[in-house]
Amino acid sequence: MRDTVIVLEVSPRDGLQNESVVVSTDDKLGLIQRALDAGCKRVEVTSFVHPKRVPQMADAEAVCASLPQRGDVSYSGLVLNRRGFDRARATGRLQEVAMVVSASDTFGARNQGQSIDEGVAVGQEVIEEARRAGFFSSVTLAVAFGCPFEGDVPLDRLVAMAAKLAEAGPDEIALADTIGVGVPSQVLAGFGALREVLDPKIRLRAHFHNTRNTGIANAFAALQVGVETLDASIGGIGGCPFAPKATGNIATEDLVYMLDRMSVRHGVELDRLVDAAHWLEGVLVKPVPSMVARAGGFPVR
């Protein structure tokens, strides 16, 4: 069990991308600032995708241009191909580039227009370019615990993909439960298998959605197998626009509540996260799914 973990805040990108309300650039920056005020040191701020595919991310360059530059914070931009990487690099405001490769041919074709093999090849190219350009490079295997079109994803496929992508020298490899079907036993098996084949210098990160109410349990399992970073979204918002019935990420405040009660160090303030979730409800004009935003922390003050 880890006694310290990094919380990667993903609400400005994965959190907002599936929302029907188009959030202004100023409000996106307001959300990022609230994450920073709460103590988040890694923030996924946007994605560089075609605006017709994901209209919510059409202002990627504008968001990056106004990011507060701080030496203690690392900003990440998600990219799907070389064109997206070139856009991210051109902003001059990011420290991390995050590549996504689908672990399913069908999902990859619908989400990125790529087969698994094509995605791995593009991922290797982007990782190598990011490394040469001085970025912290991360690659995520999407639908790692189940695909909405093909069902279960074989563990040996994940291991083979991770090993191939590792040849390009990424700093971090993540497994993502994109549609929220994973359970703790899969998390233990998946990350355990990656530990056996990857260079120990490659960090591991976990990305969970709470679609079927297993997200926090999966985060606990990830801690047990030594995952260094957990993704979470203020308010528990989020979802993939290309996955049927997609719902939100695990809520950052729900995750932090668990970590606090377990004495796992993370450096993020629960009360500020709850305040940010309540502010976000006003921006989205609806309640957020977070449990702790509704119930508060404990002991009750």
Q: Would you please indicate which residues are annotated as catalytic (active-site) residues? A: 240
Query: How many whole angstroms separate alpha carbon 18 and alpha carbon 57?
Result: 10
CA 37 to chain centre: 19
Query: How many whole angstroms separate alpha carbon 237 and alpha carbon 23?
Result: 13
Q: What is the chain's percent helix, strand, coil content, to nearest 5?
A: 45, 20, 40
Query: How many whole angstroms separate alpha carbon 192 and alpha carbon 188?
Result: 6
DSSP string of 72-137, one letter each residue: T-EEEEEESSHHHHHHHHHHS--SEEEEEEESSHHHHHHHTS--HHHHHHHHHHHHHHHHHTT-EE
